[in-house]
């Protein structure tokens, strides 16, 4: 009996402890109804389900107003959020979980008026070094948790298609309006400036090689003085590019399926240098990068389906010269140099191909060994430079009014120095 009595007492004590424990730690009751908080998160409708690393990297230090972006959803945030305040002065906290492309990001705001819906465009803390490595589109899943006054109220998951960093969005159409309605087009051709990289580590070596080729003795930008001196520096870079054998090659198309976004693939500086290939815009950003490095002020002129380079020939920016960069593909210098005869001269058949760019006296001097192959190639580069400088003059003069018209969005005059206030190089 004593043993049974002891067991009953023990059981009673255990039940009492469980009851007391339950009373001391009551189940927390949720104060805020998720349905009333109505937390929503979606991919920025402007991007049509996509995210562009080029846009994020280019605008990562942006503080000034963006060109031609008025009235459009924020270009900085991949996900607009909306929350309805469940009480006056409610403290909202949104937590974006980390992924391989972003760090944990926290948005905290006060929601002043109960029942009012507030919309936010949080700037995600991206891992910029990882975004630069995205060279092929891939998925990204983000988890966002909503807290009201420190109480977790809801969770949303976002699925985003991350595009290649080489994809440069040229324009976005929003509000589901037709293509011909410019009021609903957000023009982002200013992002061409993001592919101009005056700090690329390859440029000092390129400039060193250009100096050794003898056209100029130093690069000094506008300190050189005259227009002729400025253009001679550009000629030296032009000659170096021809010797490298950078030829025209178009790979502007991408796999982007969006019907509301106009996108172009752009090669980076090192891709142009290493592959020796460039289309019109690739070559423009390549040359603009080097011109910026030596202190000149380049401008990229964008027309429908084409782009060409300009640069100011004076420090006061009163005069501008043009350069059709695709002319570099008219003559293949590496091929000429590979086929030199044992004496180091261009064979007659190859010489005939380039003779149309040279004067009879220059050909005669070369045939009679009064000038070397290196000297002939400089003469050839000079002739091609002159053709490239005049190639777009008529087009430029015909379209000057369009370049100044903010409504003519397919015509852009992109002054890289001015754009550097908002658009950083993708490096």
CA 15 → CA 1, 2, 8, 76, 237, distances in Å?
21, 20, 11, 58, 89
- Distances, alpha carbon 20 to alpha carbons 9, 12, 25, 341, in Å: 16, 12, 9, 101
Q: Specify the pLDDT at position 276.
A: 95
d(CA 159, CA 139): 7
Alpha-carbon torsion (235, 241, 242, 246), positive or negative: negative
Give the pLDDT confidence score for residue 8 in this predicted structure: 45
Q: How far apart are CA 53 and CA 126, in angstroms?
A: 10
pLDDT at 72: 46
The pLDDT of residue 121: 86
Contacts of 217 (CB under 8 A, 6+ apart): 211
Residue-wise pLDDT for 114-164, tens only, equals 999 999 988 899 999 999 999 999 999 999 999 999 999 999 999 999 999
**Distance linking the first and last C-alpha atoms of the chain:** 86
**What confidence score (pLDDT) does residue 183 get?**
64
Distance between CA atoms of 427 and 103, rounded to whole angstroms? 20
pTM for this prediction:
0.86
Task: For residue 247, count other CB atoms closer than 10 A to its CB.
Answer: 19
pLDDT of residue 182: 60
- What's the pLDDT score for residue 391? 97
Question: 237-263, pLDDT tens digit by residue?
Answer: 999 999 999 999 876 656 677 778 889
Map out the domains of the chain with their CATH numbers: 34-165 (2.60.40), 182-419 (no CATH)
pLDDT for the residue 45: 82
Average pLDDT of every residue of the chain: 88
Q: Dihedral through CA 111, CA 116, CA 117, CA 123, nearest 10?
A: -20
Handedness of CA 84, 90, 95, 96 (dihedral sign): positive
SS3 sequence, 80-140? CEEEECCCCCEEEEEEECCCCCECCEEEEEEECCCCCEEEECCCCCECHHHHCCCCCCEEE
Six token digits for residue 117: 């819906």
With 0-12 CB in 10 A as exposed, 13-18 as middle and 19+ as buried, what is 40?
middle
Angstrom distance (rounded) from CA 190 to CA 55: 10
In contact, 264 and 254? CB cutoff 8 Å: yes
The residues of the chain scoring below 70 in pLDDT are 1-29, 62-76, 175-183, 251-255
């Amino acid at each position: 009996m004593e043993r049974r009595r002891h067991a009953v007492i023990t059981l009673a004590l255990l039940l009492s402890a469980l009851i007391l424990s339950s009373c001391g730690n009551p189940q927390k009751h949720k104060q805020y109804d998720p349905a009333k908080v109505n937390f929503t998160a979606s991919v920025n409708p402007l991007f049509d389900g996509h995210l562009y690393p080029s846009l994020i990297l280019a605008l990562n230090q942006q503080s000034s107003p963006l060109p031609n972006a008025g009235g459009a959803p924020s270009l900085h945030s991949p996900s607009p959020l909306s929350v309805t305040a469940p009480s006056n002065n409610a403290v909202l906290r949104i937590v974006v979980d980390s992924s391989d492309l972003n760090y944990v990001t926290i948005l905290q705001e006060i929601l002043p008026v109960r029942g009012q819906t507030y919309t936010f465009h949080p700037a995600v803390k991206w891992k910029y070094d990882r975004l630069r490595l995205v060279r092929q589109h891939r998925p990204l899943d983000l988890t966002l948790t909503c807290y009201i006054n420190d109480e977790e109220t809801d969770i949303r998951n976002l699925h985003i298609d991350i595009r290649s960093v080489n994809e440069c969005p040229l324009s976005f159409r929003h509000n589901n309006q037709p293509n011909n309605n410019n009021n609903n087009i957000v023009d982002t051709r200013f992002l061409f400036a993001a592919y101009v990289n005056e700090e690329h580590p390859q440029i000092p070596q390129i400039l060193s090689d250009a100096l050794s080729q003898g056209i100029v003795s130093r690069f000094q930008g506008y300190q050189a003085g005259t227009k002729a001196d400025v253009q001679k520096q550009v000629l030296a870079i032009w000659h170096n590019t021809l010797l490298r054998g950078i030829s025209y090659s178009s790979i502007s198309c991408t796999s982007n399926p969006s019907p509301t976004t106009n996108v172009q693939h752009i090669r980076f500086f090192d891709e142009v240098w290493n592959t020796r290939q460039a289309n019109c815009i690739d070559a423009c950003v390549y040359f603009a990068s080097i011109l910026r490095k030596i202190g000149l002020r380049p401008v990229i002129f964008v027309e429908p389906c084409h782009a060409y380079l300009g640069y100011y020939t004076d420090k006061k920016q009163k005069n501008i010269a043009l350069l059709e960069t695709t002319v570099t593909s008219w003559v293949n210098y590496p091929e000429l140099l590979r086929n030199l005869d044992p004496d180091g001269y261009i064979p007659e058949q190859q010489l005939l191909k380039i003779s149309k760019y040279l004067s009879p006296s220059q050909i005669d001097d070369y045939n009679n060994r009064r000038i070397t192959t290196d000297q002939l190639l400089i003469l050839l580069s000079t002739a091609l430079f002159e053709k490239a400088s005049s190639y777009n003059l008529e087009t430029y003069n015909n379209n000057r009014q369009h370049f100044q018209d903010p409504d003519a969005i397919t015509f852009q005059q992109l002054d890289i120095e001015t754009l550097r206030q908002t658009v950083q190089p993708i490096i």
